[in-house]
Amino acid sequence: MNQKRLCKGHSKMLAGVCSGLAEYMGWDPTVVRIATALLCLVWGTGLLLYIIAAFVMPEPMD
């Protein structure tokens, strides 16, 4: 059985958080990066969530 696991992505720009989330959800990494940038600019919470995720999300296993 092949279970999906949330981890940092392979196509890293900063820490791999956005690409990891995009791979997990099956979305385009660019869309996730734009959404994260908008969250950072509008409410400022995106940056805090990104930093937390960068420390919490594991590296890819393969």
- pTM value > 0.85: no
Residues with Cβ within 8 Å of 31's Cβ and at least 6 positions away in sequence, in order, are 22
| pLDDT value of residue 38 | 87
Pick the more confident residue, 1 or 46: 46
In three-state secondary structure terms, 28 is: coil
Any idea which residue has 């296993």 for tokens? Answer: 61
Is residue 9 within 8 A of residue 18, CB to CB? The reply is yes
| Burial of 40 from C-beta contacts in 10 A (0-12 / 13-18 / 19+) | middle
Select from 22, 2, 26 the least CA-distant residue to 10. 22
**pLDDT tens track for 5-46:** 888 887 778 888 999 999 889 999 999 989 888 888 887 777
Work out the pLDDT band at 2, boundaries 50, 70, 90.
low
